[in-house]
């Protein structure tokens, strides 16, 4: 096996094309080993094996610097740069993350996880090189799906100004996670069909030089192209056409399903049956489809992650023109949603908490200043959400709840979630965001409010005395357990409150608590800094009320076990009780 | 005068080309009247008079919908849509804002003030029209300077997917506020020089149809082009070439100075001498120039607003390759700064608080997750900053201080500001942001710290008892005055603290306050929600300490008098004293 003697990129320089091709097959077996057992990004990695080999063969990393966009396609790069054990040796799976990571290797320059950042990051490396009078190539590797993102387009536009060595490898597999959306993809298609020579070339229009590689899975062709641009003295694009998922038939044919995949049996491609049916993605999709059929003003919008709210290809087809995937273009999505709402449409835009971070200015400027009544669904907004450092869902309360005019709701169960969603779609006064619950599907037999027009009215679930618990959203169940514990231990039942509204205080209710409570406990599934509990603490600041806020520390977690994080933040009922009533160190 | 009979767009339909041209001259006189007396955006408005007339002549607003990008160039549009008095009649100047405003007119669909939003907002209007089966044209009007913004490029990319009537007027005057930056401007140049026929056409590459108008200040040519695309059934760009500032020679020749201009004498083009010399823009420029000459790793970066830190054309030239204007591309700027810092450069990126809103994800992902040591200067970050609803500088603390790893500093005087800036540039551990003071240039004779490496150490300015004032940044002077007042009225001198660090608590100092203080007052020049004071309130929540937080309400202010806003938020020493010590209603 060739791979056994590959410990760094230098070790592939002596191989010939046939050997490099054999190496590609061995690498795919390593990828298969890890992916079938751990799960991860399949299609993107299988499609770029040859190109990664060719890049390391031609260039000299880390003097020549690679920056992978998103970096979910960096597995082969990791294998070639001293981390192959994490793919071939099951015991070493935990050695690497799913993205580039400077803590693992000098061949990785940045932690990356969001899209469209590689060109700009690489521009910085290039600019620094030039100012210091150093040499070396700087290469950004970006997929076609990422090109629709504003930051990538800003980067492509700026790159021409560098006036020095700068290489952008555009890995075109004609796929985002789902199908691509946007006019520039027609251009990529025209370039593919004309062997890179058609008239209107987006990259040349951006002032960049350009070469085309028709078969981006052919090592010899790639080596030839990369060699031709090595040490080039001006910014240039190398447009390579690859096959997403190449080397594994299920991934080649069902590209959307195999973008990211759970652990599976390599023989069949099948995963063990997932847990018992209900999940908010499918439930939301079902709800929205019904709404859209009944009312053609309702529009469901996503930004390249349709499946986060259950819109598989069939469902998208079913929704027809009322389903819009803008591609990776969240800023555009929010502004467009504002425009739709302005003219009487009923837009519902959904994406992950982490990706809403890309829209702060549009939320504030385009949507909220105009107070246009759009509905935003914030997914995986929770410590229970995604665990990679670049995909955390614990910052959205801090980011969004301090924007004026936005009504941000936190449901505590399934019935409440859909009541809020129904209300939000039908009302025409407020821009509304709703945190999709992320802690399993909880049902309630209690009636839930259907009208949220009178803002900031909290709901008393259980009236008690002395201690009041404000248990927001996904931490409501922790609040319930805490209330029981307090009643048991103190003999006094506390007041349990479901705030519902993240963005405002129920002044009257909070004022009233002063009469017969001396302690308020707040619980929120997000960082405390800039969060909900701090607003409560400020309200009671001038009073005698003691306020204890529980939530997450302001930090970037990475690949964590939820239970560990909850414990570290004292988020179990026992720990909360101890901190509040037994002088535990919070 | 023709203008006297123009009360709505319908009134220009009967005019012939000669009359429309005469109308343009009359409109310029109205613009001159307002701008010379009030100040405002000069060049953009003078350059687009003919195009705006032609748009209203050909189309039927508001059935046909116009969306102006940034909307600072909408003055002629306002004149033609019933608001001419605000330009011709001095008594009516206050009737209109400097941007489109739905509260003023049905011909304005959005409050807009940030760049690059028009295409996306308009896509929403178009999509809604199509879903409802309605008719009418949707027209976005965007300047070439705005095209470099990611959101605009996302919008252009998406527009082709609409598959229905959608018109994008690209107003190309070959200028941003300063000169343009980016490869796509080479393409615009090639299009201008080839009468719109050159090979690589960025807009066609984005899947859009395209027409070119060589003289965008010629009404007949414009009418012909707009008529040709009226009711078109697919997305199309009309690329018009205009002369920024046309009709007033100083504005035509000194385009950068006349983008926005103070009130002036129309005869000479001169403004009254501005206030006494010192301002942070010039001081910062001077400091950075010196730094850059001494150390070629230091790089000053801006995103299209070089003058916010004093970099006039001469100074930019002086800085040479160490000065980078990325154009309107703040996301790219932050990522690029991260890349520069990663490879040993020392980047300093400056823009307005309001424009930092465009970079939230890049601050979090590209910069802070990687903890790369870039320096960010946040300008007009204050209630004393810009007063238009779309340019407020009161949200940056809430937005930025809750991002992990960022060190956000608030200086209270000139010496402290430059000490922080010096430290930040020289250190290599933290991503640092500094709020440039905005309340006039205050000097101190006291020594200031030069080393900020030990994070979150607050500074006691005056040791007292009973009451502690944490006076952050620009509100430090209010804190000083408050301390005096408290000493006078109560006979007990309070403790006055300069926190310096917005992003963290001095736990030891705050803990120590408990010994001999019962009241803490926080002051911050920004909204309270998500701000500094709330963190202090949370710290003291479980204790007996009374905490009173003062700052701004969470709301979008618009064209306000600072004194009124301070009073409404009880931000005078007298009001604070009353609220805290005399049970005034806060």
pLDDT in tens, B455-513: 999 999 999 999 999 999 999 999 999 999 999 999 999 999 999 999 999 999 999 99
Which residues in A lie closer than 8 A to residue B185 (C-beta atoms)?
207
- CA B508-B513-B519 angle, to 5 degrees, is 140
Residue of B nearest to A404 (CA): B555
Chain B: closest CA distance from residue A176 (Å): 14
Asked if residues A407 and A503 have their Cβ atoms less than 8 Å apart, the reply is yes
Q: What's the complex ipTM?
A: 0.94
Residue B366 to residue A117, Cβ atoms within 8 A? yes
pLDDT of residue B221: 98
- Mean pLDDT calculated for residue range B208-231: 98
Exposure b/e, B206-235, CB count within 10 A at least 16 = b? bbbbbbbbeebbbbebbbebbeebeebeeb
What CATH homologous superfamily does B2-7+14-261 map to?
Thiamin diphosphate (ThDP)-binding fold, Pyr/PP domains (3.40.50.970)
Asked if residues B415 and B448 have their Cβ atoms less than 8 Å apart, the reply is yes
DSSP string, B391-417: S--SSHHHHHTTSTT-EEE--SSHHHH
Residue A110 to residue B338, Cβ atoms within 8 A? yes
Residue B124 to residue A401, Cβ atoms within 8 A? no
Chain A: closest CA distance from residue B297 (Å): 7
pLDDT of residue B276: 67
Chain A: closest CA distance from residue B10 (Å): 22
* Residues in Cβ contact with A251 at an 8 Å cutoff, skipping those fewer than 6 apart: A42, A43, A46, A244, A245, A258, A261, A269
- Mean pLDDT calculated for residue range A372-383: 98
Chain A: closest CA distance from residue B333 (Å): 7
Query: Which of B69, B205, B523 best probes binding to A when mutated, by most A CB atoms within 10 angstroms?
Result: B205
Residue B208 to residue A155, Cβ atoms within 8 A? no
Lowest-pLDDT range of A252-261, A295-304, A340-349, A488-497: A252-261
Query: Which of B142, B158, B188 best probes binding to A when mutated, by most A CB atoms within 10 angstroms?
Result: B158
Lowest-pLDDT range of A83-87, B266-270, B561-565: B266-270
For residue A534, CA distances in Å to A279, B236, B277, B364, B408 come to: 31, 49, 42, 21, 19
Chain A: closest CA distance from residue B110 (Å): 6
Total CB pairs under 8 A between chain A and B: 429
Residue of B nearest to A554 (CA): B404
Task: Give the nearest partner residue to A120 out of B119, B199, B332, using CB atoms.
Answer: B332
Query: Which of A144, A154, A324 best probes binding to B when mutated, by most B CB atoms within 10 angstroms?
Result: A154
Q: Which two tokens stand for residue B308?
A: 């916010």
Task: Give the nearest partner residue to B186 out of A113, A160, A187, using CB atoms.
Answer: A160
Asked if residues B365 and B404 have their Cβ atoms less than 8 Å apart, the reply is no
Q: What integer best gives the mean pLDDT of chain B?
A: 96
Chain A: closest CA distance from residue B537 (Å): 5
How far apart CA B289 and CA B50 sit, in angstroms, is: 42
Q: Which two tokens stand for residue A346?
A: 């009923």
Q: Which residues pair with A202 in a beta bridge?
A: none
Could you give the residue ranges of the DSSP H alpha helices within B491-572?
Answer: 507-516, 532-540, 562-568
pLDDT of residue A177: 83
Confidence of residue A176 (pLDDT cuts 50, 70, 90): confident
Which residues in B lie closer than 8 A to residue A398 (C-beta atoms)?
402, 530
Q: Which residues pair with A376 in a beta bridge?
A: A349, A433
How far apart CA B60 and CA B65 sit, in angstroms, is: 8
How far apart CA B476 and CA B482 sit, in angstroms, is: 10
Chain A: closest CA distance from residue B92 (Å): 24
Greatest CA separation found in chain A?
Answer: 82
| B31: nearest Cα among B52, B5, B14, B54 | B52
Question: What is the end-to-end Cα distance of chain B in Å, rounded?
Answer: 55
Could you give the residue ranges of the DSSP H alpha helices within B367-504?
Answer: 396-400, 414-426, 476-490
How far apart CA A457 and CA B371 sit, in angstroms, is: 40
How far apart CA A561 and CA A568 sit, in angstroms, is: 11
Residue A110 to residue B370, Cβ atoms within 8 A? yes
Model pLDDT for residues B167-207, shown as the tens digit of each residue: 999 999 998 887 888 999 999 999 999 999 998 999 999 99
Asked if residues B346 and B299 have their Cβ atoms less than 8 Å apart, the reply is yes
Asked if residues B99 and B388 have their Cβ atoms less than 8 Å apart, the reply is yes
- Mean pLDDT calculated for residue range B252-257: 90
* A455 upstream amide cis, omega within 30 of 0: no
How far apart CA B541 and CA B185 sit, in angstroms, is: 55
- Mean pLDDT calculated for residue range B55-76: 97
Which residues in B lie closer than 8 A to residue A549 (C-beta atoms)?
538, 541
Exposure b/e, B551-566, CB count within 10 A at least 16 = b? bbebbbbbeeeeeebb
pLDDT of residue B272: 85
Which residues in A lie closer than 8 A to residue B202 (C-beta atoms)?
202, 205-206
For residue B461, count other CB atoms closer than 10 A to its CB: 17
Q: Is the pLDDT of residue B586 over 60?
A: no
Residue of B nearest to A579 (CA): B542
Residue of A nearest to B100 (CA): A370
Return the CATH architecture of domain A459-581.
Answer: 3-Layer(aba) Sandwich (3.40)
| A378: nearest Cα among A426, A336, A436 | A436
Which residues in B lie closer than 8 A to residue A528 (C-beta atoms)?
538
Q: B2-7+14-261 with B280-435: one CATH topology?
A: yes
Residue B336 to residue A127, Cβ atoms within 8 A? yes
pLDDT of residue A586: 52
Chain A: closest CA distance from residue B247 (Å): 32
Task: Give the nearest partner residue to A343 out of B129, B208, B542, using CB atoms.
Answer: B129
Chain B: closest CA distance from residue A333 (Å): 7
pLDDT of residue B45: 96
Residue A155 to residue B332, Cβ atoms within 8 A? yes
pLDDT of residue A180: 83
Confidence of residue A276 (pLDDT cuts 50, 70, 90): low
Q: Is the pLDDT of residue A377 over 70?
A: yes
Which residues in A lie closer than 8 A to residue B580 (C-beta atoms)?
542
Which residues in A lie closer than 8 A to residue B204 (C-beta atoms)?
199-200
Q: Is the pLDDT of residue B273 over 90?
A: no
- Mean pLDDT calculated for residue range A109-130: 95
* Residues in Cβ contact with B61 at an 8 Å cutoff, skipping those fewer than 6 apart: B9, B55, B81, B107
Confidence of residue A585 (pLDDT cuts 50, 70, 90): low
Which residues in B lie closer than 8 A to residue A357 (C-beta atoms)?
360-361, 364-365
Which residues in B lie closer than 8 A to residue A202 (C-beta atoms)?
202, 205-206
- Mean pLDDT calculated for residue range A218-241: 98
Which residues in A lie closer than 8 A to residue B398 (C-beta atoms)?
402, 530
Residue of B nearest to A116 (CA): B332
Q: What integer best gives the mean pLDDT of chain A?
A: 96
Residue A184 to residue B206, Cβ atoms within 8 A? yes
Asked if residues B402 and A399 have their Cβ atoms less than 8 Å apart, the reply is yes
Which residues in A lie closer than 8 A to residue B362 (C-beta atoms)?
117, 120, 151
Residue A124 to residue B184, Cβ atoms within 8 A? no
Task: Give the nearest partner residue to A150 out of B153, B299, B357, using CB atoms.
Answer: B153
* Residues in Cβ contact with A507 at an 8 Å cutoff, skipping those fewer than 6 apart: A456, A539
How far apart CA B196 and CA B212 sit, in angstroms, is: 5
Beta-sheet strands, E only, within B194-328: 209-213, 235-241, 260-261, 298-302, 323-325
Query: Which of A69, A355, A361 best probes binding to B when mutated, by most B CB atoms within 10 angstroms?
Result: A361
Chain A: closest CA distance from residue B377 (Å): 18
Task: Give the nearest partner residue to B297 out of A126, A131, A154, using CB atoms.
Answer: A131
- Mean pLDDT calculated for residue range B284-301: 97
Task: Give the nearest partner residue to A537 out of B321, B530, B537, using CB atoms.
Answer: B537
Question: What is the end-to-end Cα distance of chain A in Å, rounded?
Answer: 55
For residue A316, CA distances in Å to A291, A336, A541 come to: 14, 19, 50
Residue of B nearest to A129 (CA): B343
Which residues in B lie closer than 8 A to residue A123 (C-beta atoms)?
332, 335-336, 339
Chain B: closest CA distance from residue A299 (Å): 9
Model pLDDT for residues A540-560, shown as the tens digit of each residue: 999 999 999 999 999 999 999
Residue B361 to residue A114, Cβ atoms within 8 A? yes
| A106: nearest Cα among B343, B386, B77 | B343
Domain boundaries, chain A: 2-7+14-261, 280-435, 459-581
- Mean pLDDT calculated for residue range B294-316: 95
Q: Is the pLDDT of residue B553 over 90?
A: yes
* Residues in Cβ contact with A323 at an 8 Å cutoff, skipping those fewer than 6 apart: A292, A299, A300, A301, A302, A306, A311, A315, A316
Q: Is the pLDDT of residue B538 over 80?
A: yes
Residue A362 to residue B299, Cβ atoms within 8 A? no
Chain B: closest CA distance from residue A178 (Å): 16
Residue B125 to residue A335, Cβ atoms within 8 A? no
pLDDT of residue A131: 87
Q: Is the pLDDT of residue B274 over 80?
A: no
Q: Which fold has domain B280-435?
A: Rossmann fold (3.40.50)
């Amino acid at each position: 096996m060739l791979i056994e003697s590959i410990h760094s990129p230098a070790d592939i320089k002596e191989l010939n094309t046939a050997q490099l091709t054999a190496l590609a097959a061995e690498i795919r077996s390593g990828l298969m080993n890890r992916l079938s057992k751990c799960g991860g990004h399949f299609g993107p990695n299988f499609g770029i094996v040859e190109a990664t080999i060719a890049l390391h063969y031609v260039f000299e990393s880390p003097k020549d610097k690679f920056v992978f966009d998103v970096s979910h396609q960096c597995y082969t790069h990791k294998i070639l740069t001293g981390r192959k054990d994490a793919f071939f040796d099951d015991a070493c799976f935990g050695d690497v993350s799913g993205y580039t990571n400077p803590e693992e290797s000098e061949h990785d320059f940045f932690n990356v996880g969001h899209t469209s950042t590689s060109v700009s990051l690489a521009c910085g490396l290039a600019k620094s090189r030039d100012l210091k009078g150093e040499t070396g190539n700087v290469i950004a590797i970006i997929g076609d799906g990422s090109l629709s993102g504003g930051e990538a387009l800003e980067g492509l536009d700026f790159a021409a100004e560098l006036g020095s060595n700068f290489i952008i490898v555009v890995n075109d597999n004609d796929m985002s996670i789902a199908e691509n959306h946007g006019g520039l993809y027609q251009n990529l298609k025209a370039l593919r069909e004309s062997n890179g020579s058609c008239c209107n070339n987006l990259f040349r229009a951006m002032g960049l030089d350009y070469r085309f590689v028709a078969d981006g899975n052919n090592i010899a062709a790639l080596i030839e192209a990369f060699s031709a641009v090595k040490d080039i003295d001006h910014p240039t694009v190398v447009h390579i056409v690859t096959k997403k998922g190449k080397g594994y038939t299920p991934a080649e044919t069902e590209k959307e399903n195999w973008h990211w995949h759970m652990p599976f049996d390599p023989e069949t491609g099948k995963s063990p049956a997932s847990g018992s049916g209900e999940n908010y993605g499918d439930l939301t999709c079902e709800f929205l489809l019904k709404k859209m059929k009944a009312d053609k003003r309702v529009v469901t919008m996503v930004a390249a992650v349709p499946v986060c709210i259950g819109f598989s290809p069939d469902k998208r087809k079913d929704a027809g023109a009322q389903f819009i995937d803008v591609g990776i273009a969240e800023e555009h999505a929010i502004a467009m949603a504002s425009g739709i709402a302005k003219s009487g449409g009923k837009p519902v835009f959904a994406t992950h908490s982490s990706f809403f971070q890309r829209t702060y200015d549009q939320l504030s400027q385009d949507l909220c200043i105009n107070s246009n009544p759009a509905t935003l669904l914030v997914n995986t907004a929770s410590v229970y959400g995604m665990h990679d450092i670049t995909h955390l869902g614990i910052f959205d309360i801090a980011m969004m709840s301090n924007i004026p005019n936005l009504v941000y709701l936190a449901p505590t169960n399934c019935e409440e979630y859909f009541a809020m969603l129904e209300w939000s779609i039908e009302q025409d006064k407020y821009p509304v965001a709703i945190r999709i619950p992320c802690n399993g599907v909880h049902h309630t037999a209690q009636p839930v409010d259907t009208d949220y027009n009178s803002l900031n009215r909290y709901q008393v679930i259980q009236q008690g005395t002395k201690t009041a618990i404000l248990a927001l959203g996904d931490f409501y169940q922790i609040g319930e357990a805490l209330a029981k514990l307090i009643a048991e231990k103190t003999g006094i039942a506390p007041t349990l409150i479901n705030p519902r509204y993240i963005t405002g205080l129920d002044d009257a209710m909070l004022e009233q608590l002063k009469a017969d409570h001396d302690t308020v406990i707040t619980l929120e599934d997000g960082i405390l800094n800039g969060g909900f509990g701090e607003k409560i603490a400020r309200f009671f600041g001038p009073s005698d009320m003691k306020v204890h806020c529980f939530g997450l520390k302001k930090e970037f977690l990475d690949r964590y076990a939820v239970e560990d994080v909850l414990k570290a933040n004292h988020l179990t009922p026992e720990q909360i009780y101890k901190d509040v009533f037994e002088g535990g160190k919070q």
